[in-house]
Amino acid sequence: MKKAFIFPGQGAQAVGMGKDFYDNFDSAKKLFDEADEALGYSIKKMCFEGSEDDLKLTANTQPAILVVSVIVNEILKSEGVTADIAGGHSLGEYSALVSAGTLKFSDAVVLVHKRGQFMQEAVPVGEGSMAAIIGLDDETIIKICAEASAVGEVQAVNFNCPGQTVIAGKTAGVEAAVEKLKSAGAKKAVVLPVSAPFHSTLMAPAAKKLAAELDKVALLDAAFPVAANFTGELETSADDIKNNLVAQADNPVKWIACVEAMKNFGAEIFIECGPGKTLCGFNRRIDKKIKNLNVEDMDSLKKTLEALGV
């Protein structure tokens, strides 16, 4: 059975993540040390004992989740479990590209740290926000966002699963859209605790800065296909991957399309590598027949290896 490794994005972080692996695997120690050296500060300390507020800062969250996700990928490989295909949600796409050999780990850690900084700098805190819309079709959400943009720019930015779409933009636009979407029949509209309107057109300055950073990094063709958030299609070409990473910063994440592309490739088992089970939850809503496993600590690693008969 073909296996897809999928990697979580921002929001999955928790203090203590990765400690289990650090205590049990030399490869985890090595990768944490390598990340600390590349960043010039201790992401390890932040993951294990840092305050939740520090870990929630976008420039810290992104490398922290990437490090833990790549560690899981390495541990699974050492147990003889390898990916046939990969995908990641937003930040998770960078973890997927490390797993496919496109991006060097130390380069990816620094890139996502800078990506977090660029995203935060693009819109001053308080001027932008995001909200999850539950129980309304995408067409209605897109239409209402266009109407609410008269008050402040807002758009649908994460197509996560049927019945859950995230919108982002100027705070006034998001607030207006939330009220209209509730009136249109949304079961819930939850403003998210994030510090910037990720993946909206307001992130254009971040995309521009990210392009300049990606120009300094060597990208290789992927060893196996990786689903691109920007296109929702499978990519292996280094040039296409680079263009997609730039576009991904200020364009919507097409997670439903990414999962469909991995399924069409033949993936039957999806293993979420990294903190949390958010993507497993999305996948169940996309297709109940998908077999979902996750690895975030020693307990879930044991269960996943048992489920795979390893």
Where are the strands (E) in the chain, listed by range?
2-7, 85-88, 128-134, 154-161, 164-170, 188-191, 226-227, 234-235, 267-273, 291-295
Q: Would you call 106 a catalytic residue per the annotation?
A: no
Task: Please pick, among 95, 195, 199, 200, the residue that the annotation labels catalytic.
Answer: 199
In whole angstroms, what is the distance from residue 104 CA to residue 107 CA? 5
Residue 90 appears among annotated catalytic residues: yes
Q: What is the DSSP letter of 186?
A: -
* Residue 205 structure tokens: 């300055």
Spatial CB neighbours of 310, under 8 Å, sequence gap ≥ 6: 79, 80, 81
Q: How far is CA 112 from the centre of its chain?
A: 11
Residues contacting 62, CB < 8 A, separation 6+: 10, 91, 112, 113, 115, 116
Phi, psi (rounded to 5 degrees) for 295 = -130, 115
Catalytic residue among 69, 89, 90, 200, which?
90
Which residue numbers are catalytic?
90, 199
